[in-house]
């Protein structure tokens, strides 16, 4: 179980580090002068939008739901080791 949590934390760190790539692609496609949307470009654009929305949800959860004030509420949860590893990694 700890290997799974470690893998998920690694994926989360990579995701939050590399989120600028989908954001740059969205900006590039939105402000490009020639707007030829091939099906592949449209699909990649939609995937990038979903990734950015997931990132915004993750930031919202980290900022408003999984705060140190609410730490006691999540200690009884079955997913607490995962929540602690992702959102409370700076707490002892």
**Average pLDDT for runs of 10 along the chain of length 92:** 81 91 92 81 94 93 83 74 76 53
Per the prediction, the chain carries an average pLDDT of 84
Contact criterion met (CB below 8 Å) for 8 and 86 = yes
As given in the structure block, the two tokens for residue 82 are 């995962």
- Is this model's pTM higher than 0.75 or not? yes
Distances (CA, A) of 56 to 8, 37, 49: 18, 26, 11
Other CB atoms within a 10 A radius of the CB of residue 21 amount to: 11
> What's the confidence (pLDDT) of residue 54?
93
Which residue in this structure is represented by tokens 């990038």?
48
Which residue in this structure is represented by tokens 């929540």?
83
> What's the confidence (pLDDT) of residue 33?
66
As given in the structure block, the two tokens for residue 15 are 């995701």
Contact criterion met (CB below 8 Å) for 26 and 52 = yes
């Amino acid at each position: 179980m700890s290997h799974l949590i470690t893998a998920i934390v690694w994926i989360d760190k990579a995701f939050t580090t590399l989120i600028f790539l989908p954001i740059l692609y969205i900006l590039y496609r939105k402000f490009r002068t020639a707007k030829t949307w091939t099906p592949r470009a449209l699909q990649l654009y939609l995937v990038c939008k979903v990734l950015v929305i997931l990132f915004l949800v993750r930031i919202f959860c980290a900022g408003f739901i999984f705060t140190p004030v609410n730490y006691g509420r999540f200690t009884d949860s079955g997913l607490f080791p995962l929540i602690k590893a992702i959102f409370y990694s700076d707490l002892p």
